[in-house]
Structure 1
Amino acid sequence: MTSLARPRPAAGEPAVVRVPVSDPRVRPLLRELGDEYCARYGKDAHAELARYPDEEFTAPHGGVLLLLLEHDEPVAGGAFRRYDAGTAELKRIWTHSAHRRRGLARRVVAELEHEAAARGYRRVYLTTGPRQPEARGLYLRTGYTPLFDTEADPETIGPLPFEKHLPHAPRGLAPV
């Protein structure tokens, strides 16, 4: 299990900023994420990204986080939404293609887990696509339990589900 201690960025690392989906800095995240999904899966993924209403990613049940560079440029981000009363669902985990292999996705996931735990969620659920081995590896390395046969061909499974149980929220925080 993870602790509720907030990950501390190193000096010069991008700052964490919480923004609504409507913030203009979210557009590059969704655009590049959609383009990448289209390239990997050969269909229009932008409609899938628009499937959930923005309200599902706002407090008190969900949230969007962006990691920003000094010049207010988004380099990585992600969101969560309420999956059920005790579970947050991570969505839209993204790292800009020019900023990969720096641990930013790991940091986004840790920040989202912290925020979800602080809001009273006890579990995190997510899915990733079968053609995203980097994401599959990230979730396995960060303590997520695969809810599928890891020996099977991912293409035969479809979306790959994962879960992770979170520590209890600090005293004084009510579950969502």
Structure 2
Amino acid sequence: MHILRTDSSNTDFQTLVGFLDVTLADHNGDNHHFFDQFNTIDTIKNCIVISIDTVPAACGAFKELSSDTVEIKRMYTHPDFRKKGLASTIVKELENWAKELGFTKAVLETSVDLKNAISVYEKSGFYKIPNYGQYADIESSVCFEKIL
């Protein structure tokens, strides 16, 4: 396993996010446009790509939300590599990177239906909070937070 810290110009990150976008478009249906507007990757400075035997397997990123808070975004594990702990590894690496940069809190949003994602976040120490920002009135969203 190789863990790469990069930015959103990385082609492996872009490829994995392409798969993620297809998956989310199917999952979100008519609501996809609403969520998609908050998930552009043109200027993300902090991205992680995990490769297994040189094959891009999983990714994640964070964006600065405030001077002390990051928002974890674009988490995806290719189906061929699921159930191997890669998502948890990415979350931990993103947390470490954010702490190194002086951030003290991480938040994130996911779908109430994505039980596997929710499980990863809860096992990583995130706890449910009221939906924030653009997700405040979205019933299909659930938001989490963790003090780093």
State if a TM-score over 0.5 links the two structures.
Answer: yes
**Aligned twin of 1:41:** 28
User: How many residues are matched?
Assistant: 141
Runs of 5+ consecutive residues of structure 2 not aligned to the other structure? 132-137
Q: Which amino acid aligns with 1:80?
A: F
- Structure number with the higher strand fraction is 2
Query: What's the secondary structure of 1:22's corresponding residue?
Result: coil
Distance 1:88 1:144 in 2: 13
Cα shift readout 1:43-66 (whole Å, capped 9, x = no counterpart): 4848816744522x21xxxx0010
Q: 1:50 to 1:24 in 2, by over 3 A?
A: farther
**Aligned twin of 2:125:** 143
In percent, how many aligned pairs have the same letter?
A: 26
Cα shift readout 1:91-114 (whole Å, capped 9, x = no counterpart): 001101110000000000000000
What's the RMSD between the two structures over aligned residues? 2.2
Which entry has the higher C-alpha Rg, 1 or 2? 1
**Which of 63, 78, 82 is the equivalent residue of 2:64?**
82
- Structure number with the higher helix fraction is 2
**Which of 24, 47, 50 is the equivalent residue of 1:67?**
50
Query: What's the secondary structure of 1:120's corresponding residue?
Result: coil
Contact 1:82-1:88 at 8 Å conserved across structures: yes
Q: 1:45 to 1:32 in 2, by over 3 A?
A: farther
TM-score, normalization: structure 2? 0.86
Distance 2:37 2:93 in 1: 21
Distance 2:23 2:30 in 1: 10
**Aligned twin of 1:125:** 107
Distance 2:64 2:14 in 1: 22
Distance 2:123 2:41 in 1: 30
State yes or no: 1:98 paired with 2:80.
yes
**Aligned twin of 1:4:** none
